[in-house]
Amino acid sequence: MYIREASDLELDEVLFVEREAFGHDVEAELVRQLLEDPSAKPVLSLLAFVKDRAVGHILFTKARLEKNQTKASLVILAPLAIVPDSQKQGIGGKLIERGLQLLSKSWVDLVFVLGHPEYYPRHGFKPAGRLGFEAPYPIPDEHADAWMVQALRPDVIGSVNGKVICADALNKLEYWRE
Ligand SMILES: CC(C)(COP(=O)(O)OP(=O)(O)OC[C@H]1O[C@@H](n2cnc3c(N)ncnc32)[C@H](O)[C@@H]1OP(=O)(O)O)[C@@H](O)C(=O)NCCC(=O)NCCS
């Protein structure tokens, strides 16, 4: 298995992985729109391959704090997708880890995700609401722990807070129902 950045020419592979993983077109269409969205840039789009077949994809897109605090650079992880026959083999975890490693070497301070609260804490994510970060749309109390954050720099958490504004293509209520 190997992981590398997806090139612009690999859109079909990316969308195929998204459709297979989720079993419908919603996330594939979201990814297609995010990759064209200027407000999402810069993006980090990684593909995982097994025997040269694309089996996993992860996308990180730019976000910002509503109060326009310039002290922190933000991204949102969405979506993460592994094709069914390659799930539960650690590939999702490796895509998260590689993404975080690359982002920590670039300009990123905080990574947010709305996802399974039993899965992402294994890779360092913590509930974001308690740390002062509001999601782009309100998350019901019973799912509050699904909105998570991870700091890639020391001292960022505590020095900034507020509502997170995501890229335009992701800024729709339908994507924020966990
Ligand atoms: C969720 C997903 C990305 C995980 O990727 P993966 O490569 O299968 O996961 P890993 O192999 O890294 O980790 C497997 C572990 O995660 C757990 N896990 C997988 N999906 C989970 C879920 N929906 N909720 C909680 N835990 C989950 C597995 O039970 C497994 O636990 P174990 O190690 O105790 O057996 C993948 O199953 C997938 O693409 N699912 C369909 C799309 C989706 O739901 N994407 C996530 C959007 S937030």
**Distance between first and last Cα of the chain:** 30
The full length of the chain comes to 178
Q: Cα of 12 to ligand 1 centre, how many Å? A: 23
Average pLDDT score, the chain? 96
The two beta strands, 44-50 and 53-65, are antiparallel
Q: Are 131 and 102 in contact (CB under 8 A)?
A: no
The pLDDT tens digits for 25-65 are 999 999 999 999 999 999 999 999 999 999 999 999 999 99
Question: What separation in Å is there between the alpha carbon of 118 and the centre of ligand 1?
Answer: 9
Over 90: is that where the pLDDT of 176 sits? yes
Indicate the number of domains in the chain.
1
Which residues are within 8 A (CB) of 67 and not within 5 positions of it... i.e. 6 or more apart?
Answer: 162, 163
Cα→Cα distances 73→76, 102, 169, Å: 11, 14, 19
Comparing 163 with 67, the larger pLDDT belongs to 163
The per-residue pLDDT for range 65-112, each reduced to its tens digit, is 998 677 799 999 999 999 999 999 999 999 999 999 999 999 899 999
The CATH number for 147's domain is: 3.40.630.30
**Residue 115 forms beta bridges with which residues?**
none
Structural domain harbouring 46: 2-176
Q: Report which protein residue has its CA nearest ligand 1's atom 16.
A: 119
| 82 CA distance to ligand 1 middle (Å) | 8
pTM score: 0.96
- Conformational region of residue 128, where left means phi above 0, alpha means psi within -120 to 50, and beta covers everything else: alpha
Q: What is the dihedral of CA 152, 150, 154, 71, to 10 degrees?
A: 80
